């Protein structure tokens, strides 16, 4: 059974999706997960909401949320490296490709960022182009907001 909840962030609604105890997705776009059979169960998201509130309003720097990530081995390696990017820091797509063991795969790193099912938890907003912000699934306004929140 998939459960969902809408979290009201400082920049708008965010959809949260869980299966049992594992967070599966955070969505800035499809906040109700209308393509899935879900049950709205906000009480199941108490800890996730608590940590999101701490991140947005109290300076939480790392999330300690149980999640399940379903991805290819390459994307998993990119996400593992993304988790190492410190709060208040950024890295380029090309440097992240090097850290993930595929130095020429900076475009694939960008695709992995765009397909990240757990933005915020896996901080893809901290990945930028060498001379630009790059992209962001929720839109550049959200990416800019998150970078400002972290004083970047």
Among residues 78, 100, 124, 127, which one is catalytic? 124
Three-class SS string for 51-100?
Answer: HHHHHHHHCCCCCCCCECCCCCHHHHHHHHHHCCCCCCCCEEHHHHHHHC
Q: Which two tokens stand for residue 137?
A: 């699934």
Residue 124 known to be catalytic? yes
Q: What residues are annotated to the active site?
A: 124
């Amino acid at each position: 059974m998939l459960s969902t909840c809408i979290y009201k962030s400082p920049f708008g609604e965010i959809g949260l999706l869980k299966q049992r105890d594992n967070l599966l997705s955070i969505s800035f776009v499809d906040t109700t997960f209308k393509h899935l059979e879900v049950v709205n169960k906000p009480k199941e998201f108490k800890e996730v909401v608590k940590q999101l509130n701490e991140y947005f309003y109290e300076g939480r720097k790392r999330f300690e949320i149980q999640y399940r990530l379903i991805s290819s081995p390459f994307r998993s390696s990119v996400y593992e490296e993304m988790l190492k990017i410190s709060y208040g820091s950024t890295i380029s797509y090309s440097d992240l490709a090097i850290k993930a063991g595929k130095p020429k795969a900076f475009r694939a790193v960008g695709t992995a960022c765009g397909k990240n099912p757990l933005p915020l938890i896996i901080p893809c907003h901290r990945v930028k182009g060498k001379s630009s912000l790059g992209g962001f699934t929720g839109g550049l306004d959200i990416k800019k907001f998150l970078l400002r929140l972290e004083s970047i």
